[in-house]
Chain A
């Protein structure tokens, strides 16, 4: 059974700092990995999707990497801003239609 773990559960950083969020998964036979952002009381916004054949994806200040063999992904946020404050969720998809989610990392960027 696939399990997804995100460390740390919470992170507080000053504005402007570069930071890394971690995601690990137990079964390396994944189809893709997706990073989401969730603001309080809101739905999920898809940030980046990495297919199993890819090593990384970039969007603006965000860079996500995937090491399938070791069961790890990182989300790098450059020059963090207070507007980046949210919960970041990692999810992996195996051979079926389903995503398995981690519990998320709650990020606070202090001005």
Chain B
């Protein structure tokens, strides 16, 4: 199964908002509310930012929010800060055969 589709890069200035999309199919994103988002600084361990489409783990700022419409999930980061600059990956449950599938990743640049 192919990776979920994410834009390769997005950018924004400090204080602005950006949205990263994650498009799948009606066999993964569209079929289950098990979409998660991870922040990854290369060379470090990825960090869970959103799970179950829109839930935030404790310790994740409420500037990070998630949503889903049809086969597309989205991660919105408001009030951009320099430390938000990283790669972001979506992940979706895809059923009992494929199990899990990641997006190709989006590089966020804070200008």
Task: Report if A and B associate in a common complex.
Answer: no
Residues on B facing A (Cβ under 8 Å) = none
